[in-house]
Structures are given as structure tokens and as C-alpha cells.
Chains A and B, each alone.
Chain A
């Protein structure tokens, strides 16, 4: 579709370009450029601040281009070492959670789009209803801490983020696009449902797996909410984003991130250490992003158009 479209356009543009087209195009380039600059400026400020010395920040405020250059904040955070433990925890949670969640979502999505499966409507509604009506935070919090005893447990972070009705519906719509004949032909060849799913269906929905896997991974990497609910000060190592939250909001956590190198808070270059932590906590997912953008956009397209 996209291919065909661009070809017809190329033909069209050789015919004639009117004034109004030029106006729109010119305005488009200007507006989109300005908008994109607005999107990126706050990031530049954070990176710049993380490389600026404390005295300059105090004196001149934060800048887009650093007035002086200092890597002190990074050496302190890396020497403190606390961030590495958070990295390991977050990477583990992200990997395990994404793998389990993706497996379950794919299985469920496949079963629910099978037109011959008599329970598909009941189960779909059972899952969908949870996005229509929820008990609310208070009963959920009491159940997690009192009934399940998940206070201060990493399971309280891992489990709730594993799936959502929306992701299951998205997966179902992806798999629906595969003709039912594929399943039928597999079954005629004597394969069971599980075999058909693993050997025939999964290889055909790689873009869907990439998209939904990315949504899950993003959810785990950026997770701070469940941590703020369930991980108290008794837990030493917390996921990256929640660690970052504590470093910015609590002096103890800030001191802890540079572990024992300085006793007095006044000796720590607070602003640049905060920003160095922010850069380190966000960096990996942003580095990853250009590589997966292709899948993400194609996934969004399917989700939006067939939603």
C-alpha cells in the first residue's frame, strides 16, 4: 500500500505544484521542525546539567549547552555502585516479565480468535470486563499486602504488569489477520492446537510479538508505580525508575546513590548527581528505541486501524 502510494505521488508531483501546496509544505517543515525542537530541548537540558559542576548550576542555573564540563557526577554515581544493582533488578524484571507476559498474551490471543472455539465470547468478555470496572486502589492494595502477602516482594512489581486486556485484544486482532485455513491445514496434517500455534502461527506474527513485547518491556523499564505502593524502605534494591524517584525526592536515597563517599549532603553535587542518575536510568531504553521504532509504528498501525 505505502509503496503504491509513493509511486503515484511521484508521478503527481511532476505534473504541477500549486502555490497553496508550497505554502502548506513550507509551513509543515517549519512547524514540524519547531515542534521536534520542543520535544528534544528538555532532554538536552538534563544531559547538559549532568555534566555541569555544582557551583555553576547554583550560579547560572541549568543550560542547554554546559558552561563548564565536569564528569564528577558520573564518577560519583558509578563509584557508589548502587545503580548497578538497580540495573540488574530492572533488566531481570523486564526480561522475565516480558517473556512470560508475551507467551501468555500470544496463547490467549490465538485461542480467542479461533472461530470454532465455543468459549471465546465468554472468556473475551471475562477479560474485557476488567477494563470496564475495577475495584479501585484501596481493595487492590489491601489484597496485595494482606491476602497475598506481597509487601516488599518483587513479585508485586513483576506480576501486575504482565498483561492487560488491551494488549490481549491487540494480539487477537493481529492473529485474526491470518487466514483460518492455516490452522485447518495444520490440523488436517495431524497437528494439535498447541503445535499449530507454535509452529505455524507464531512465526507469522513476529511483528505483533515485537510490538507487544516492546509495550511490555517499556512498561517494566519505566515502572515506578507498583514499586511505590509495595516496596518499602526495608527493600534495599529497587527498580531503576523508582530509585530515580527516591533520589530526586529523598535526601537519604540521594546519599545512598553515591554510597559512603561523602557523609554530608552539602558535599554532594546534588543537582548534577540527580541528573546523572536520570541519564543513566533512561539511556538504555532510548538507545534501544531507534532500532525497534519500525516494529512499534507498524504495530500501532494495525492496532489503530483494526482496533
Chain B
């Protein structure tokens, strides 16, 4: 009997079983999943009814379900004050820049790495480029402060030794979009370029060799073989990164900007706003309204992106 027949027989045998029989037969595999099932129940599903808090005027004494129901008033406040627009704009623009520039730089570096011949150089440079990925966001905040602060910062030391005027980025909101993008790229690009480097290693080496024998120069090989072969990986990684465009990177913003309200106009994202609403203002209802708004938008975007991926490359779709 062939393998396929064997499997299809055992599958049809399973199908004939009733639900309790299946439970009993696969009890060991079910037990193996049980800790994870309990974990996600406790930490992900249990908070979900608490979403109700977005629709009440919350106070601790009455709890989430005892507090007064006020409908969409929490959302109305966020909308009319213009806060929601500002947070959404900042969050989406930062993430778009992170995703697009991050992938561009990572592909660029991966292609360069692939052209280099010295094994030792490749290894050492990869190790060094990976370093920023390994440190905590707290340390990133400290590194940035050491470079940029007005009194003792490294950059200001350089400027004044060159006889130039000192620079005060921590009181100038306009420079932070560029600075935060640079800092993000600094921390993530090493990791991303290794992912792309791995994808390049997967490209058929014989194809590259054939192109070389046919007289294709380095630029032509990159343009006509490397990039087209990388295209599916780039498209898929980009699409899924776009799926997460309304969340993430809280640690980066919080550790660099913190409670410096001078910079909020250009640096406040949904997650930093929610965090402050809870931890410093104890305003749970507003925080929850923003959080729910974020979750819903994120959900719609992921489902849409997955739909698109399914059309382009069904193998890569997530569900």
C-alpha cells in the first residue's frame, strides 16, 4: 500500500469517529496544547470583555460593568479634540517610514554583503550590525541621550569643538521624525538584512553563474537576477509589515521621548498616549477607547492585507 493511501485511510478512519472518541484518542496531543490554550485564555481572551470600559465613565468603586454607560462619548471627545487624528497620523506615518526605509536599507545591505568575498569581513560585520538588535529599548534611550543632549552630548561636543553653535534637539519637535527613523533603522536593519541575506542564499547559484558566464556584469546580475528573485520575499514581508502599521515600537518612543511634552506634537503615537492615559492620568476609559480604535483598525488592515496576499501568492497567506 502506498503512503498516500495509508494516510487517507487513517484520515477517513478519524472522520468516522465521534467527537468524544476523538477527544479520547488524541488526549495526549490535547494535553500537550493545554498549557498554551490556558495561557492565551488567561492573558489574551480574558481581557476582551473589558473592552466594555471604552463605553462607560469608569470609576474603580463600581468596576468596569458597574460604571455609568455613556455610549460613544469617550470616542467623541477624542475625535472632536483632534487627538485621534494626530495620533493616527503620527502612528501611521512613522510606521510607513520604518517599514519602507527599513526594508530598502536591509535589501541594499544584504545585496552588498552577498557581493563581498572575505568570509571574515562578512562574519565580523554581521556580528557588529546585529549588536543594536540585542539591547533593550532602555539602553537605546540612554545611547540616544548621550549622543544628543545639550550639556554633555557627543554631537554637541563635536559641534562646539568645530566652533559651531550647540544643538538642542530635546526642545525641538521638528527634528524628531528624522531622528526617530534613523534610530529605528540603526536598531533593526542588522536583523532585517540577515533575513534578506538568507533569502539571497536561497537563490539558485547556478542561475547567477550562468549569467556570469554569459557576460552579465555585477549591476546587471543584481538588476535582472537578484532583485527579481527577491521580489516575492520583499513583497510578502512588506505586506505583512503593513498589516501591523498601527501598532508596535512603544519602547522606542517611550524611552527616547518619555514625558517630554515639548515633543509630543510630532512624536506621540497611539501606544504612548494610551500608556500615559493609564499610568499617569488613570483615565482608563479614554485609554480603552483609543486602544479599541487601534485594535479594530489593525484587524481590518491585517484581514485586507491577507486577502491581497492570498490573491498574489496563496502559499504565503496567513489564514
Residues of chain A at the chain B interface (Cβ within 8 Å): 1-2, 4-5, 8-9, 11-13, 15, 18-21, 23-25, 27-29, 31-33, 35-36, 38-40, 42-43, 45-46, 49, 57-58, 60-64, 104-105, 107-108, 110-112, 114-119, 123, 125-128, 130, 132-143, 146-148, 159-160, 162-163, 165, 168, 192-194, 197, 218, 221-225, 228-229, 241-242, 244-245, 248-249, 271, 274-275, 278, 281-282, 285-286, 289-290, 293, 296-297, 300-301, 304-305, 307
Contacts and interface: CB of A to CB of B under 8 A. Distances in A.
Interface in B196-211: 198-199, 201-202, 205-206, 209
Interface in B215-243: 217-220, 222, 233, 236-237
Nearest to B287: A138
Contact of B299 (A132, A193, A248): A132
Given A8-B209, A127-B36, A194-B28, A138 B288 contact: yes
Nearest to A25: B115
Contacts of A275: 142, 146
B50 A135 contact: yes
Interface in B268-319: 271, 274-275, 277-279, 284-285, 287-288, 290-292, 294-295, 298-299, 302-303, 316, 318-319
Contact of B141 (A228, A248, A282, A307): A248
Contacts of B154: 45, 61-64
Nearest to A302: B198
A9 to B, nearest CB: 7
Contacts of B44: 130, 134-135
A132 B217 contact: no
Contacts of B115: 21, 24-25, 28
Contacts of A147: 46
Interface of B: 7, 10-11, 14, 22, 26, 28-30, 32-33, 35-37, 39-40, 42-51, 53-54, 63-64, 109, 112-113, 115-117, 121, 124-132, 134-139, 141-147, 151-154, 156-157, 160, 186, 189-191, 194-195, 198-199, 201-202, 205-206, 209, 212-213, 217-220, 222, 233, 236-237, 250-251, 255, 258, 271, 274-275, 277-279, 284-285, 287-288, 290-292, 294-295, 298-299, 302-303, 316, 318-319
Given A20-B219, A289-B134, A61 B26 contact: no
Q: Report the 8 A-B pairs with minimum CB-CB distance, sorted nearest first.
A: A136-B291, A139-B50, A61-B157, A222-B136, A135-B47, A130-B44, A138-B288, A28-B112
Given A63-B157, A133-B295, A242 B287 contact: no
**Secondary structure call for the B interface:** helix
A114 B151 CA distance: 60
A121 to B, nearest CB: 10
Given A43-B143, A140-B43, 16 more contacts: A12-B209, A24-B112, A39-B128, A58-B152, A108-B32, A118-B26, A139-B51, A159-B39, A193-B28, A223-B136, A248-B138, A249-B258, A281-B136, A281-B139, A289-B131, A290-B127
B39 A163 contact: yes
A259 B255 CA distance: 25
B14 A116 contact: yes
A43 B127 CA distance: 14
A43 B64 CA distance: 46
Given A35-B129, A126-B37, A142-B53, A241 B136 contact: yes
Q: Which of B35, B186, B213, B318 has most A Cβ within 10 Å?
A: B35
Contacts of A116: 7, 10-11, 14
Nearest to B277: A138
A116 B11 CA distance: 7
B180 to A, nearest CB: 15
Contact of A40 (B131, B194, B255): B131
Given A5-B205, A107-B35, A278-B139, A126 B195 contact: no
